[in-house]
Structure 1
Amino acid sequence: MLKRSADRNGMRLNGSRMNNLDQPKNGSAAASNGASQAAPRSKPQTPLPANPLAYTDSFERRHIGPSPDDLPQMLKLLGFDSLDGLIDAAIPAAIRMQRPLHLESAKSEYELLQELREIAQENHVYRSFIGMGYYNCITPPVIQRNILENPGWYTQYTPYQPEISQGRLEALLNFQTLVSDLTGLEIANASLLDEGTAAAEAMSMSYGLSKTESKTFWVSEACHPQTIEVVKTRAVPLGIEVLVGDHRKFQFEQPVFGVLLQYPASDGAIYDYEEFCDRAHAAGALVTVAADLLSLTLLKPPGEFGADIAVGNTQRFGVPLGYGGPHAAYFVTKEAFKRQLPGRLVGVSKDVHGRPALRLALQTREQHIRRDKATSNICTAQVLLAIIASMYAVYHGAEGLRQIATRIHCMTSILAEGLQKLGYVLGSEPYFDTLRVMVPAEKAKDVVRRAHSHQINLRQIDAQTFGISLDETVSSDDLLALFQIFAGEQIAHFTPEDVLSHCPTPCFPENLCRTSPYLTHPVFNSYHSETELLRYIYRLQSKDLSLATAMIPLGSCTMKLNATSEMMPITWPEFSQIHPFAPLHQTKGYQILFEQLEEWLAEITGFAGISLQPNAGSQGEYAGLLVIRKYHESRGEGDRTVCLIPQSAHGTNPASAVMAGMQVVSVACDSDGNIDVADLKAKAEQYKERLSALMVTYPSTHGVFEESIREICDIIHANGGQVYMDGANMNAQVGLCRPADFGADVCHLNLHKTFCIPHGGGGPGMGPIGVAKHLVPFLPQHPVITVGGKQGIGPISAAPWGSASILPISWVYIALMGAEGLKKATEVAILNANYIAKRLEKHYSVLYKGKNGLVAHECIIDLRQFKKTAEIEVDDVAKRLIDYGFHPPTVSWPVAGTMMVEPTESESRQELDRFCDAMIAIREEIREIEEGKADRKDNLLKNAPHTIFALIADEWTHPYSRQRAVYPDAWTRENKFWAAVGRIDQAYGDRNLVCTCLPMEAYQ
């Protein structure tokens, strides 16, 4: 930690100034007559703290929901006298930690934010004209305050329950429309992780669609270097050869299944790719174009010159640089390829009342269903950032975006004219926002030095070439500074205004100019005043249930408190306004934060090394498996390609294994949901010569601490394999046990679950990996900034530290909780889950329990019997919970017909009881059907959720009252959350796939 400087006016301790606490006030006896003994004082009503000089406001009590008075009563229900007794019974003694975590003591929110401010100030916010896909931009304040900084948007869950997700689904539909319109292609997804991984997904999709025998993918050398390397990383385990070259020279003499082009090129050049695309198609190759979305407001879109797929980054649409992320990538393709499109896809359908309604479309493509047959392991997106980008487009509209792009291009033309006046040779024309400047080698260092003296960063492409990329924030003063930087000893006797006066009007060749319309839908032409946009944002927010509304008790997804003090730093300029490729000497604050966070995560998990690069849990899985693969290869055992995966595993596990070039072999589970150790041992021995890894989730996917976990790890190691642990359930281990201690070699950590980064409506996420000592040399590297191990795998993400700007959230959480607070959080998470299981076990069957009849941090409620007794499906119960004001738990996973409930430690006993009361009330509603008191087809569950549209209809034909439908308990009468639409017809939407904005009359 940074040490604090002494305060000039007094001693500073723990971040606060030490005052003379006991100095007598004027008028007291001591002050007036110099008495040596103060007058007697009455006994204080509140006892003094043990150390009155230290802050005493504990964050732990604000993060943990149940009060100290609630805990004994909850434990009593479970038959325990203490939390220690519960934990001793729940977690196998063989894996328990025998010491506390070696972390600093917890700090107060106030003092920690002060400390983080000092760290942040070690970052220096220069003007970065580096480009390479990352640009400074202006986040409209109305969007920053009301979306990025608004828990009503950033605490939402993935929209798997569309009836209570219509707001963000509409914003994502706007995003898809934006991308489709600007690229000229038919069908876009709801975002991907970053441009590099989107390009890699395009390669995989092209390979899957290819009708040739080729295993070669051709990449233009004009692509961003980080994109090229991420593509190479993805290609290796699939046996794909990546060729990099100049598109002007490539003649398709070697068969290729796909090509990747950059538009405009990384150095700013704009090429006419139409003839190249024709030749690629003639050779049987699919064409992917990585395109700058803002430039497409002026340039001919990829879909009009032959692209089959377009990918890119929407960061410059109002999303801060954030030292690399999170940013929403886009992926768009032709209608014919819709079923191979990776990621999530929002589509239009209708609800039970026949009204338009949105939901995730074509979900049969997802890895949770297709598992090892999935074409992608992506199970998340960058929803919050995609929403910001879409709102940026809604705010500015087509004309506003065109004006922004035109201004940037004009400023670039002024810069080009001025640099040429100074005698510099520039790269090829035309250009949009980026110039390639040739500088004599002996002058290059002086250019860099002068740039830094002006607090400006340039891209140095090679010893004699600089790149300058302008953005919407560029000013006349910036251009003047750039002229002075390149003028050197001579003085630039002109200003940007002088150049403008005789600068030719910038334009592109006719064959490159955009002529087609875009963003003509009313949503992009209706909300250009702040008043109208603010109201639109709030209308959408009101349609979504977030943690600001109620508990989201999703099993395996850990929807815990995202504290305001954790979230505040992400928009501080020192964290949000730094380019990912800024020189390291400007980012010392980030380096301090990374180092400390890595140390803390290593201590929490027991691992020797941490990589913060993977920017999603799925990417962490993939990175961990590639590290294992590289380790085996380093030992001459590259033929170890078999990955054992239990039947209960997350769907991303088998998908990630296939992407990593492994053969998936399934391992059986017993009747209690645990790994069948005998089957595991038999298969480990069967594949002993080829065994690469076991992927295991702990506690198990069924929410139980398996007693045999050490034996399981030992079996894998005895047969030459490595143990990969899925860290989705790490929040049941922190402070109590550590994966590395009981045999795991690799573990990814979902920082968006255990360590409080919010889900953001389905993203952002962060999935760093921890590895044992022998695997540290293989941690992922990066082509631009030096990170990773000496023998490391290639980059997993486009930016060196993934989505760096959200890492302060986890840093703050760990520092605020301290070792004891983290342990207490884990204990209470386990207590809350068992409390719910105990309260509900008389009404529902709790499917899996551990040896002592306890669950871990989540429990599975079995609803399958009601299909026979009352024709009630699990979805009926889920939708009825919406009427009670809850987001339904995880439905039909990992067992069909069940609900997986995870309350987390942040929910109060009052909220837990409200949920249990709702579930018990629903059980009684089911009983009415079973006993013939309610109709089996027309009942409270089958018709849920009940909307205000149905409530105010002229006719009410149901055999139950309107009041019982929409106000089933006292809470709802005071705090009613209305589902925006009735139950959605999923099949209709897939049969009639529409993934762009409907005309407004459709909603009337």
Structure 2
Amino acid sequence: MKTDSFKLRHIGPSEKDLQDMLHTVKAESMDQLIYETVPDDILLKNPLQLDEAMSEQEYAAHLLELAAKNSVFKTYIGLGYHEASLPAVIQRNILENPGWYTAYTPYQAEIAQGRLEALLNYQTMICDLTGMELANASLLDESTAAAEAMTMLYAGRTRDQKKSECNKFFVSEEILPQTLSLLKTRAIPLAIELVIGNHETFEFSSEFYGALLQYPGKSGEVFDYAAFVENAHAADIKIAVAADILSLVTLKSPGSFGADVVVGTTQRFGIPLGYGGPHAAYFATREEYKRNIPGRIIGVTQDTNGDRALRMALQTREQHIKRDKATSNICTAQVLLAVMAGMYAVYHGPNGLKYIANKVHTSATILSKTLSKLGFTQLNENFFDTIRITADADKIKTLAEAKQVNFFYPDATTVSIALNEATTVKDLNTIISIFSEASGKEAVVIRDISKEETSISQNLARTTDFLTNEVFNSYHSETELMRYIKKLERKDLSLNHSMIALGSCTMKLNAAAEMLPLSDPQWGNIHPFVPIEQAQGYQELLSKLEDQLTEITGFAGTSLQPNSGAQGEFAGLMVIRAYHESRNDHHRNICLIPSSAHGTNPASAVMAGMKVVVTKATDEGNIDVDDLREKAEKHKDNLAALMVTYPSTHGVYESAIREITSIIHDKGGQVYMDGANMNAQVGLTNPGAIGADVCHLNLHKTFAIPHGGGGPGVGPICVAEQLVPFLPGNPVISTGGDHAITAISAAPWGSSLACIISYGYITMLGADGLKNATEYAILNANYIKERLNGHYSTLYSGERGRAAHEMIVDCRPFKANGIEVTDIAKRLMDYGFHAPTVSFPVAGTVMIEPTESEGKAELDRFCDALISIRKEISEATKDNTNNMLKNAPHTLAMVTADTWDFPYSRTEAAYPLSYIAENKFWPSVRRVDDAYGDRNLICTCEPIEAYMEEA
């Protein structure tokens, strides 16, 4: 046994398991199974050209070498990114804890109450600080959130505004540059006209539907927007405000001066810079927009017993579910980072946040006064943390970098300095020494910053309370917070307990060796806009990852910028759009999408300004090639693209895929391949081999970034040669192709810190390991298929009867027994498992994907559970709903209650199979009532008065 082989640790089945499993699936060898599963004409003839696999020890040493190439300066660039202090108790117990980072999106609320409570805390924090009524459970980054505000307000225009073609959106010239770039990306395909200008001189007209303001502005100046907002509302113009979350501790909330939407990032609340991400953005608005707000909302409801429970509220209003009627394709969040930011507020409480904010502001005020004494002019009148100094920028830059300090230089005569939570008195004196040397004057030494000073006028200062809820006033010692975090963790089922066999979502092992570098400050403390030479470790790693992904996909180039799968879809389509426009094919705007596609596909196409034409599926679940050919011919003059998932969403390698891509190319279109199922291709075939032109990759699926309870995700795009020139750019740091489209995400390389995980996964597996991972994913899926044969029906199979890496199991026949697919999902909780994907892509089914990470013993436990549940289904009747499936899940409180009014035993309810007793997981609530929560929408923690009344 090669104990230094990462492949041995990542892939679940042993050599002995392999022979037993091949026997079960009736295959002589792995090669035979692959031959019977994957069409021969798309199999790769040569192995992937990747470096030899590293052991975990070699990789750890390699990462240390790369990290040493990063120069961690004291950085005061700002522009939406600031060094923050991550409390060790949060780092150790959340960021580094698989109980938190391996959890799935909380669609099964009964086994996700801990995450849901943490996210409810986050939403409450956002509502309190912004002064808004409703917040979602996070978005991707500040710039994306601002773009979502622009499009939400656009979709919400009044009937008269739509009739008058009211399509102008005012953007303050104080907006962050990366946000402006992303707004342009989103505005162009929707024919929204951006008007950038000075809010103080802007004149309102009926052509405008909305406006976006920065608070404080990118210069650091804090403006009084009250009159602007009042005038805008008088003209029926809605206002979005991008606000710095820490500044809202001391500044008047945007809600108090009339904002309709408030967006921003919570990176300042303890989240590492990570060269740009991942960070949790926030989005808050008025309750009237509850059915238009993008992303997820956590709400309070009750369970079967009438006890308080949490769940994702208004699930069907997630915009992407509306497909081609959607106004947003957002289908993920930054849950792990939102949980951390929320815990930061829980740990510090309102008084702690005031201390931190006041320290930052006092430091900036004292620095401003001290530099003025040295003869420098400070330009900002009202500011929170950022001052602007008139000086020779080149001279200051040279002196600053010599002392390992970064400022921001807007022009040749201005130096911008944005202070942060980590700024100390020593740091302030270093800054002063730089300017002292530049001026030739003796430095003034700052002794302490204990006495609060302010540079915020009274009419801009916050006077209202925030974070008054009990949760923000209870856990301020490390002991208390550690126990609170553990209490929540115990309510959640994650991969550290049992397999999560989610079809399409690929919940594979997130190896500790891949995760460890995330805690290293040499990776965590790099600002995304530092000079490239200070991030050479990152540059080398990200460049190598791009090359690895380019090789794996069989393409010519890669952009890591999109920070979710849905953003990758949008990026890919915008690159296709730019390609067509470069050839004067501006009219090409038809996107063909199979009926089985993910809901994000049509939503992304609409966002990219395309018209969706749906193609049919055959009874076998494949693309109807004749219908596709007919529609491609019909729309040949305007055909822009086909969006196709491969293997199909039905878990089948369609043998006609090369014919399908040829049909599109013959009509002048490009083929976009949704990379959701790329983990069934790596090393065996690739998008280039099937004839695609662009694909996005879900690094949080195929390439082992953990789901984190619903994020972070990374969705890079890989493209064929003709599309390379159009890969996305960034307005601050040059990225992308020669004819780059504007930004897709705020940071140049998106969520760079998370990309380290995928780099480790590929580097330690190597070409053979990656291929083996795909083969074992296929083996594991077919093993489950055979074990369930005779108990459940698999809905679709390939031409030789094989499943791909996942399969759809039909639960619709059980309606005759009064059992719905939801009942099976809830009953699985009693067996210690998270349900597979429910009712997607076919209602009344479950889609099972075991991944290569699970060994035979776990697969057998899962199959035994489903077979046992099948026996329970056969004993159920439509007339009697008092059965184990309808009453599932069974909680500890139920099973230990003095009375037991059910026609089956407590043991049958809680311990139906013997393995459960060794590692019992208890759902913390009974089945939640979704409808009750939607009728009584509560999306924040109860005020402290409610607890006082209860007491």
Q: Give the TM-score normalised by structure 1.
A: 0.93
Structure 1 CA distance for aligned equivalents of residues 302 and 864 of structure 2 = 32
* Matching residue of 2:938: 994
* Aligned partner of 2:87 among 140, 156, 160: 140
Structure 1 residues 453, 62: closer, same or farther in 2, change over 3 A? same
1:105-158 CA distance string (max 9 Å, x none): 111100111011101111110111000010001000000000001111000000
* Aligned partner of 1:708 among 647, 650, 656: 656
Structure 1 residues 915, 227: closer, same or farther in 2, change over 3 A? same
Structure 1 CA distance for aligned equivalents of residues 305 and 917 of structure 2 = 24
User: Could you tell me which amino acid in structure 2 is paired with residue 849 of structure 1?
Assistant: S
* Matching residue of 1:817: 765
* Matching residue of 1:454: 403
Alpha-carbon offset, residue 954 of structure 1: 2.4
Structure 2 CA distance for aligned equivalents of residues 961 and 851 of structure 1 = 45
Structure 1 CA distance for aligned equivalents of residues 525 and 668 of structure 2 = 46
Instruction: List aligned pairs for 1:207-356, cutoff 5 A.
Output: 207-211=154-158, 212=161, 213-253=165-205, 255-356=207-308
* Matching residue of 2:502: 554
Identical aligned residues as a percent: 59
* Aligned partner of 2:523 among 543, 565, 575: 575
- 2:170 aligned counterpart, secondary structure: strand
User: Could you tell me which amino acid in structure 2 is paired with residue 562 of structure 1?
Assistant: N
Alpha-carbon offset, residue 499 of structure 1: 8.7
* Matching residue of 2:920: 976
Whether the 8 Å contact between 1:648 and 1:894 is mirrored in structure 2 is yes
Is 1:873 equivalent to 2:820 in the alignment? yes
* Aligned partner of 1:659 among 587, 607, 613: 607
Structure 1 CA distance for aligned equivalents of residues 244 and 749 of structure 2 = 22
Structure 2 CA distance for aligned equivalents of residues 353 and 749 of structure 1 = 43
Whether the 8 Å contact between 2:292 and 2:319 is mirrored in structure 1 is no
* Matching residue of 1:518: 466
Structure 2 CA distance for aligned equivalents of residues 595 and 513 of structure 1 = 45
* Matching residue of 2:545: 597
User: Could you tell me which amino acid in structure 2 is paired with residue 483 of structure 1?
Assistant: I
* Aligned partner of 1:626 among 574, 585, 605: 574
Whether the 8 Å contact between 1:219 and 1:244 is mirrored in structure 2 is yes
Is 1:888 equivalent to 2:835 in the alignment? yes
Whether the 8 Å contact between 1:181 and 1:518 is mirrored in structure 2 is yes
* Matching residue of 2:323: 371
* Matching residue of 1:6: none
Is 1:949 equivalent to 2:893 in the alignment? yes
User: Could you tell me which amino acid in structure 2 is paired with residue 471 of structure 1?
Assistant: N
1:897-943 CA distance string (max 9 Å, x none): 0000000000010000000000000000011125x9xx731000000
- 1:692 aligned counterpart, secondary structure: strand
* Matching residue of 1:476: 425
Whether the 8 Å contact between 2:383 and 2:455 is mirrored in structure 1 is no
1:436-486 CA distance string (max 9 Å, x none): 1111xxx32110011001101000111111110000110111111111111
* Aligned partner of 2:101 among 142, 148, 154: 154
1:80-102 CA distance string (max 9 Å, x none): 11101100110000000001111
User: Could you tell me which amino acid in structure 2 is paired with residue 340 of structure 1?
Assistant: N
Whether the 8 Å contact between 1:298 and 1:402 is mirrored in structure 2 is yes
- 1:643 aligned counterpart, secondary structure: strand
**Superposition CA RMSD, Å:** 1.4
Structure 1 residues 267, 598: closer, same or farther in 2, change over 3 A? same
Alpha-carbon offset, residue 962 of structure 1: 1.0
* Matching residue of 1:962: 906
Alpha-carbon offset, residue 495 of structure 1: 3.9
* Matching residue of 1:178: 125
Structure 2 CA distance for aligned equivalents of residues 678 and 150 of structure 1 = 50
User: Could you tell me which amino acid in structure 2 is paired with residue 720 of structure 1?
Assistant: G
Further displaced range: 533-542 or 921-930: 921-930
1:386-431 CA distance string (max 9 Å, x none): 0000000000000100010001000001110011111111113111
* Matching residue of 1:163: 110
Structure 1 CA distance for aligned equivalents of residues 324 and 896 of structure 2 = 48
User: Could you tell me which amino acid in structure 1 is paired with residue 896 of structure 2?
Assistant: I
Structure 2 CA distance for aligned equivalents of residues 848 and 972 of structure 1 = 31
User: Could you tell me which amino acid in structure 2 is paired with residue 309 of structure 1?
Assistant: V
- 2:644 aligned counterpart, secondary structure: strand
User: Could you tell me which amino acid in structure 1 is paired with residue 28 of structure 2?
Assistant: D
- 1:330 aligned counterpart, secondary structure: strand
User: Could you tell me which amino acid in structure 1 is paired with residue 365 of structure 2?
Assistant: S
Whether the 8 Å contact between 1:57 and 1:108 is mirrored in structure 2 is yes
- 1:900 aligned counterpart, secondary structure: strand
Alpha-carbon offset, residue 571 of structure 1: 1.6
User: Could you tell me which amino acid in structure 1 is paired with residue 84 of structure 2?
Assistant: C
Alpha-carbon offset, residue 952 of structure 1: 2.1
> Could you list the runs of 4 or more consecutive aligned residues of structure 1 that deviate by over 3 angstroms after TM superposition?
489-496, 498-501, 999-1004
Q: Give the TM-score normalised by structure 2.
A: 0.98
Alpha-carbon offset, residue 253 of structure 1: 4.0
Whether the 8 Å contact between 1:343 and 1:379 is mirrored in structure 2 is yes
Whether the 8 Å contact between 2:359 and 2:449 is mirrored in structure 1 is no
Structure 1 residues 937, 500: closer, same or farther in 2, change over 3 A? closer
Structure 1 residues 155, 236: closer, same or farther in 2, change over 3 A? same
* Matching residue of 2:729: 781
Instruction: List aligned pairs for 1:115-126, cutoff 5 A.
Output: 115-126=62-73
Structure 1 residues 171, 842: closer, same or farther in 2, change over 3 A? same
* Aligned partner of 1:62 among 9, 12, 20: 9
Alpha-carbon offset, residue 808 of structure 1: 0.9
Further displaced range: 874-883 or 250-259: 250-259
Is 1:487 equivalent to 2:487 in the alignment? no
* Matching residue of 1:7: none
User: Could you tell me which amino acid in structure 1 is paired with residue 401 of structure 2?
Assistant: H
Tell me how many residue pairs correspond in the alignment. Answer: 943
* Aligned partner of 1:77 among 24, 28, 41: 24
Instruction: List aligned pairs for 1:690-701, cutoff 5 A.
Output: 690-701=638-649
Structure 2 CA distance for aligned equivalents of residues 555 and 999 of structure 1 = 39
Instruction: List aligned pairs for 1:732-771, cutoff 5 A.
Output: 732-771=680-719
1:45-98 CA distance string (max 9 Å, x none): xxxx9xxxxx86111011000000010111111111110110011000000000
Alpha-carbon offset, residue 999 of structure 1: 4.8
Alpha-carbon offset, residue 790 of structure 1: 1.2
1:803-848 CA distance string (max 9 Å, x none): 0011110111111101101100000000000000111021011000
Whether the 8 Å contact between 1:617 and 1:767 is mirrored in structure 2 is yes
* Matching residue of 2:372: 420
Structure 2 CA distance for aligned equivalents of residues 562 and 499 of structure 1 = 45
Structure 2 CA distance for aligned equivalents of residues 871 and 491 of structure 1 = 86
1:622-662 CA distance string (max 9 Å, x none): 00000000000000001100000000000000000000000
* Matching residue of 2:144: 197
- 1:339 aligned counterpart, secondary structure: coil
- 2:503 aligned counterpart, secondary structure: coil
User: Could you tell me which amino acid in structure 2 is paired with residue 871 of structure 1?
Assistant: G
Alpha-carbon offset, residue 492 of structure 1: 5.0
Question: Larger Cα Rg: Structure 1 or Structure 2?
Answer: 1
Alpha-carbon offset, residue 491 of structure 1: 5.1
Whether the 8 Å contact between 1:483 and 1:492 is mirrored in structure 2 is no
Structure 2 CA distance for aligned equivalents of residues 554 and 566 of structure 1 = 22
- 1:955 aligned counterpart, secondary structure: coil
Structure 1 CA distance for aligned equivalents of residues 319 and 121 of structure 2 = 25
- 2:876 aligned counterpart, secondary structure: helix
* Matching residue of 1:384: 336
Structure 1 CA distance for aligned equivalents of residues 457 and 429 of structure 2 = 28
User: Could you tell me which amino acid in structure 2 is paired with residue 707 of structure 1?
Assistant: S
